[in-house]
Amino acid sequence: MSPFEVYELYLAIKMHFTQPSYDYFKYSGKVKSNIESFNKRKDRYFFEKLSRKKTKKDIIEYFVSNFIETSDPNKMWVGEMKSSGDENYTKWKGRIQSFTYLFEQDLNLLTDNCHLFEAIISKSGHPKSIKSYLAGKISLETLVVLDDLTSFTSKLSDSYDPVLNLIKTKIHKYRQFFDYNKDTAIQKLRQKM
């Protein structure tokens, strides 16, 4: 890939995570950009470095792992990726490789002293699942799978809660990039119900 193509991937994935109307998969990663604006960027070397070191799949995963790791994707900038991007990517790869085990551990934590339904739905405030994610006790991947299997985020309060809305958006946008063994996840979920 050329550095400009890496830059276009960055823009497409950034738009996917920050623009409600943009879907990376629907638009096949196409964005409006031009080589002249790319050549004027001071961070151009970052994209050149990525183009030499990684495949297209790795670059997509690298950007996704960084956008899901940040507290607010709208505020993510290239400088953050330069300083902590490799660390975020390595942590993400570790979570993906051991997801079945982590999912089971996260379910154990969520169902400790309550039923799974109570952990994902709350009549007031954030449910235990969201609180646990915010506290760093469970992974975003676990929330994505729980939402994929139960649609629990659609049942959460519609009141204006910027933190909850940000997490719900992150879950929905990340879902398309996250592949997992659905049969195994369903089996683990049934064991906890």
Domain boundaries, the chain: 3-95, 98-192
Higher pLDDT, 115 or 25: 25
CATH class of this structure's domain 3-95:
mainly alpha
Rounded Cα distance, 132 and 134, in Å: 5
Structure tokens at 80: 């953050």
User: What pLDDT, in 10s, does the model give residues 87-137?
Assistant: 999 999 999 999 999 999 999 999 998 888 889 988 778 899 999 999 999
The domain made up of 98-192 is a member of CATH 3.40.630.30: no
Rounded Cα distance, 121 and 101, in Å: 23
Q: What is the mean pLDDT of residues 11-19?
A: 95
Name residues whose C-beta falls within 8 Å of residue 55's C-beta, 6 or more positions apart in sequence. 1
Share of the chain above pLDDT 70, in %: 99
